[in-house]
Chains A and B, each alone.
Chain A
Amino acid sequence: MFVLREIAISLTFFVLLYCCLSLAVVFGWRRLKMLRLSQKSLADILFLARILPMLGSVSFTCAFVIPSFQLLEPRGIDEDTGILPVALGVTAIVLIALGCYRVFQAQISTARIVAEWLADAQPHQSGSYTVCSRPDVPPLTLVGLRNPRVLISDLTVGLLTEDEMGTALRHERAHISSCDNLKKLILQFCPFPSMAQLESAWAEATELAADDAAVSDANDAVDLAAALVKLSRLVPIRSAPICTMGFVTGSLGLRVARLLAWNGTWRQSPSFPAWATVCMLLSAVTVLVFTYGPALVITHEITELLIR
């Protein structure tokens, strides 16, 4: 009974915190777009905001709710759990199951479609990409989580010049180093309504960040813009699976306009400073160390309220 009560209380805390944090993110994330940061930092911050509800609620439950129950709840007393914790516990299980299902579904459907694309694919002699001849392959796309690779349709190979291909590949390599496919999969695990706009803002920021990483001078910028416009004319037959990063995504007009206005100043946009991250982490750890005991007591008082 003690263990069942502990599970119900932990799940209740988890789901309540998850919903509160998600609502805070839904209503507050637009302020993040006003930060004057590089697109890379903005993409990282938007991603962090999107996964914050899951990360925060899991961390809080594991760090406070479970220990407070273990340490402060008397084991001998047989208390009723109450309807509310049971109902919220079931909601939490449904939420977690939904997240797992979405991840599983995204992985399975992506793997199936990519396997079809790769059926008669040939790796290019340079080894940097794979050429696919099927008509439904997107012009240029990044697939795979552990061993990501760039797939290019044979139409694309004929359409782009060597320089344009070079910048387009650098763009995709930037997605590889940011693990963007993996991040897309992680987002599937955090379901909550009204997050679509935040996810699309994150996707746009990742594309702009990859553009920034691919370009080192004005000629590169023009080559990348030209590759974008050329490949936009190749209309994909079906929409791309979830865990892939297409080259022609986001607002085409914005991306091309940005590239044509390139003057070497992107790199001067401030990144989120590493020292600030370290300071924030150190402060959080210090506060946690000094307030952990009282925080456990308060958490346990709240759990008592929930049970009653």
Chain B
Amino acid sequence: MPCGARSSRGRPVSSRSAGRATRRGIPPVSVSGTSTLVTHTGSWKYIWPVYHDRVAPCNRGCPVGIDIEGYLNLMREDRVADARRLLLAENPMPAVTGRVCHHPCESACNRGMFDAAVSIHAVERMLGDLALQEPLSDSVAPRRDERVAVVGSGPAGLSCAYHLSRFGYHVTVFEAASAPGGMLRQGIPEYRLPRAILDGEIERIRALGVEMRCGVRVGADLPWERVLADFDALFVASGAHASRALGVEGEDGTGVRPGLAFLREVNAGARPSVGRRVVVVGGGNTAMDCARSALRLGASVTVLYRRTRAEMPAIADEVEEADREGVAFAFLAAPVGFHVVHGTLRAVECERMALGEPDASGRRRPESTGERFTLLADTVLTAIGESPDLDALPPDLARRDSGVRVDPLGRTSRAAVFAGGDVTEAPRTVADALGAGKRAAVGIDRQLRARPREPRDADDLEALRFGGGNISALRWLGRDPVARVAPVNEVVTFEELNLNHFVKVARRRDTHARPERARATFDEVNRGLTREEAEEEARRCLNCGVCTHCDVCLIFCPDLAISRNGDGAYRIALDYCKGCGVCVAECPRGAIVMTREGP
């Protein structure tokens, strides 16, 4: 600073002879000149959030392998047609499953721990019925040369045929009975599954170009080897139709019938006489079907089950409905003998059971107490399990438990022979059968395409599954119609949701015919929901793990680091994000996760 220098003007601005201060451009007071965007606070973080669409538990729980959350999401956006297409891409018969599936999706539904599970079956049923009423066109892959044989037209066989046809194959279905449907037609009564519905679903499959050859029993009318020679692959889905024996003397005698045989008769339209009192032995769906059918034939019915209601394997709704219709239940009781007088069954000798230690299935083992009682009965229907007739199958098929042994893609121990459904190991449900049919279709497609690179089974399969659940046909085809953000194949648990963002909404109840009227006919008992009700119910879906652009993350970010791109997707400005994790904690549906910095 030169000595004695002074300005002749009294201006306080820094642009004078102030030496270094002036050259650095520092003003006389602290006054801002820029925003804080120059400070990249993102350098503070050691973890940061990433959007990953993950898997809802309903998807993983579904044995069919349906993107349930996906179609519910589409319905939330009022895209009902797209929802139907997504559903039908995985499940050939939603009108059937919406009625008869044991809906493990609902058991898994996270909403169940908040207020009540979404009534997924009712939404699926509505979409299935809609698809029957107003069919939509759909694209099918170009026709291939290979031909596949499917033996058995139950849910497993029909599913396999459906998917293979959509993959482009010629499919021929061989069915021993005179009409297709397997257990769907023969085992499930009309009051649960109206024939028109079943016929409509099957017609859709036929319309794809699938050849149905009914009245042909492969292995008897047509040798297995012939089929193996004429076709490029074979899917065995002949089901399990042999009723397990009670092991009680007199069970082959008069008045005692296998439940499946009884149901076959009734479901074919007959109305056999069963007398005034019927006892049904067993606790599964077959037992319930027998009981309620017998009721409709005018009998009073008692179900005999060796454990308690809590251990019954039947679908809870079925047991409920049987109860409401007036079926009586005798728990902790098992038959030990039959009273036959003058060649006519009069009564069943029963023994009281008590529950002991858990057995292999995890349920407590029933043990005789020695106490006896007698139940009057004109007819006894046995429904304690079914098993397949493995001797009627192609030779050299390895077995496991009571069925054919298969790998995750339905392959048996014989080349080009696949199997699925009740003919394989348990669980024996409609949904598992549908899923098995799809898996085999994928397995067959993979085998017949003979990909140049030998796939690594485990990785390939994992990517196709919904979070470790069942395989998606769409993913196999390389398509994912519901746009997903960096999808990760992990299931979102209840604890990862933030339910503070939701209000409780009561679950819609299906409309039922009143029990006194329902029990008098074979008309459908459960009427389901209207379209509007089903659409509302679909909106109860929390969309676990899938971003719905609700902006909660964006609004709560203390650093304003989250914004939306032109295409609506979220963008995290990593230059500013401090990795606090508030977005992850607040995301209502667990669609964001924190990740650690890697090397």
Q: State whether these chains interact.
A: no
A positions within 8 Å CB-CB of B: none
B positions within 8 Å CB-CB of A: none
